[in-house]
Structure formats: structure tokens, C-alpha cells
Amino acid sequence: MATGPGTYTVAPGGSAKVGTGRALRYRVEVEDGADLSAVSVAKEVERIIADPRGWTADGRSAFQRVSSGTTDFVVRVATPGTVDKTCAEGGLDTEGRYNCSVGHRVMANLERWLLATPVYAKDVTAYHALIINHEVGHFLGHGHVTCPGPGQPAPAMMQQIKGMHGCVPNVWPYDERGRYLTGPAAP
């Protein structure tokens, strides 16, 4: 499905707070008509956000999934056409292929969610972590970076879909030792 109705099913329930500091409350939604369970997507997003290599490793970010009430941001898995339309509101051209973060909306392209990219084609679950970490990183104020050097882990804030540039695949903002993985600012 290239374009859906632009309406969403909200994943019910919620999660415990993860991380340190005031929890950013988020909701998970799946565009109506997509052959995905909002509950399954929410469980996966919760797992990604709670991972110790994720944004909570900065020592000041905390998150909690909710299904109602005030939210700081929303994670949406939507058709390419809906993602394009939403991202265009923020001046971004996602070309039916990319994900984005616009305002309080983290938009995951359904096609990418299902098929990943060539680098992650054999590990779609890892690519889900990259989508969430990259776009939530934008929501948190992080910009794009480039590969820090051949053989180095690709930063989560690198646009890996546009090429690895000598880096090795990596989907997490921090490594197992709590070091932030970054590179030179992208032009």
C-alpha cells in the first residue's frame, strides 16, 4: 500500500519509565490498513528505547510509553505516502523511501519497517532499532553525522540508508561501555 488513510491505531497500555530524569512520554501508532499489529510495534519500540545502548545511556534521557494523555512525541509507522506528506510539513523530502522526525512526530516508513535496507536486509529487527534511534535522536536535537573512519561503527545519527562510507553497520547511539558513537557533522 503506497498511501494509507492517515488515521492510526494507538497501541494500548504503556510501559514503566526507563532512564534517568523526567520521562518523555511517547505513544506508538500504526497507520490504519497496514498489516502490522500496533501492540507488536509498541513492544519492539519499548525494547529499543529501553536498551542500555540507546538514548538513556546519556544519563539524562528517560522515556515512558503511554496510550493516552499528554505526550512529548509519537512514534508512527505509516505508508510511504503518508510519511512523505507528514515529513513535507517540516520541509523534508522523504522520496517515498526515508523516515523522518518532524516536530513531535517520529515517522517510520512502512516499506522500510518491513524490508529494511540492503545493509540490514538480513536483520530487519536491527534496522527497526536504527529507525527508532535515529529519528528519536533528531527529536532529542541530534543532527546528522558522517562515518568517523573506515571499519568504525556507523553512528546511529549517520544516514546509513545513503551508504556506509567505510563504516560497519551499527544501530545504537552508544556502545556497550557507554561511549557515544558519533562522527564529523554532516555537511
Per-residue model confidence as pLDDT tens digits over 87-101: 999 999 999 999 999
- Within 8 A by CB and 6+ apart from 100, the residues are 83, 86, 87, 90, 92, 94, 107, 135, 138
The tens digit of pLDDT for each residue in 70-82 reads 999 999 999 999 9
Please say whether the beta carbons of 135 and 157 come within 8 A: no
Please say whether the beta carbons of 157 and 142 come within 8 A: yes
User: Could you give the percent of the chain with pLDDT greater than 70?
Assistant: 99
Measured CA to CA, the distance from residue 25 to residue 72 in angstroms comes to 5
The pTM (predicted TM-score) of the whole model is 0.95
Q: Is 183 left (phi over 0), alpha (psi -120 to 50) or beta?
A: beta
What's the pLDDT band for 3 if we cut at 50, 70, 90? confident
Pairing of strands 105-109, 8-10: unpaired
Domains in the chain, ordered, with CATH? 8-141 (3.40.390)
The DSSP secondary-structure symbol of 132 reads: H
